[in-house]
């Protein structure tokens, strides 16, 4: 009997106040109120993410993305954009082995492409 009682008294794991919902798949889940709350948060987050922050982030991303070394490979894009003079300890062999490491990112070849 006490078992049965326990089963019906599950509290929401989030607010610990309301009765938890029982999901046929997940078992005990948050109460309705908390579910609504978390949905709201989710929507807000998604919204922020897709609007303002991505635009801001992308700019920085593009500028800082061009790294001389990517996974141990010297970036040809970097060499084309900045030359090798800034690179310390880079060898001729490294330069020879340089690859277009950003070629999969369509934004990037444009950087080295800038007209002079």
Q: Does 18 bind Zn ion (CB under 5 A)?
A: yes
The one among 6, 10, 23, 34 contacting Zn ion by CB under 5 A: 34
Tell me if 35 contacts Zn ion by CB under 5 A.
no
Q: Which one among 3, 10, 14, 46 touches Zn ion, defined by CB under 5 A?
A: 14
Stretch that binds Zn ion, among 25-33, 42-50, 78-86, 99-107 (CB under 5 A): 25-33
Residue range at the interface with Zn ion (CB under 5 A); choices 7-15, 41-49, 64-72, 85-93: 7-15
Q: Please pick, from the candidates 1, 8, 15, 46, the single residue that binds Zn ion as defined by CB under 5 A.
A: 15
Indicate whether 66 belongs to the interface with Zn ion (CB under 5 A). Answer: no
**28/38 Cα distance (integer angstroms):** 16
**Number of neighbours of residue 29 by Cβ within 10 angstroms:** 17
Residue 100 falls in which region: left (phi positive, over 0), alpha (psi -120 to 50) or beta? beta
Report the distance separating Cα 88 and Cα 95, nearest Å: 12
Interacting span for Zn ion (CB under 5 A) from 5-13, 46-54, 60-68, 74-82: 5-13
C-alpha distance from residue 12 to each of 28, 39, 73, 74 (Å): 8, 16, 51, 53
* CA 65/CA 59 separation, integer angstroms: 10
Which residues make up the interface to Zn ion (CB under 5 A)? 12, 14-15, 18, 31, 34
């Amino acid at each position: 009997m006490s078992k049965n009682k326990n089963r019906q008294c599950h509290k929401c794991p989030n607010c610990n106040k309301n009765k938890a919902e029982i999901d046929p798949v997940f078992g005990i889940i948050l109460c309705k109120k908390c579910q609504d709350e978390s949905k709201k948060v989710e929507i807000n987050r998604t919204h922020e993410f897709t609007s303002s922050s991505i635009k801001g982030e992308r700019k920085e991303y593009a500028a800082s993305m061009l790294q001389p070394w990517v996974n141990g490979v010297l970036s040809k894009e970097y060499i084309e954009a900045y030359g090798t003079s800034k690179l310390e300890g880079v060898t001729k062999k490294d330069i020879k082995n340089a690859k277009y490491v950003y070629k999969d990112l369509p934004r990037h070849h444009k950087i080295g492409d800038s007209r002079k």
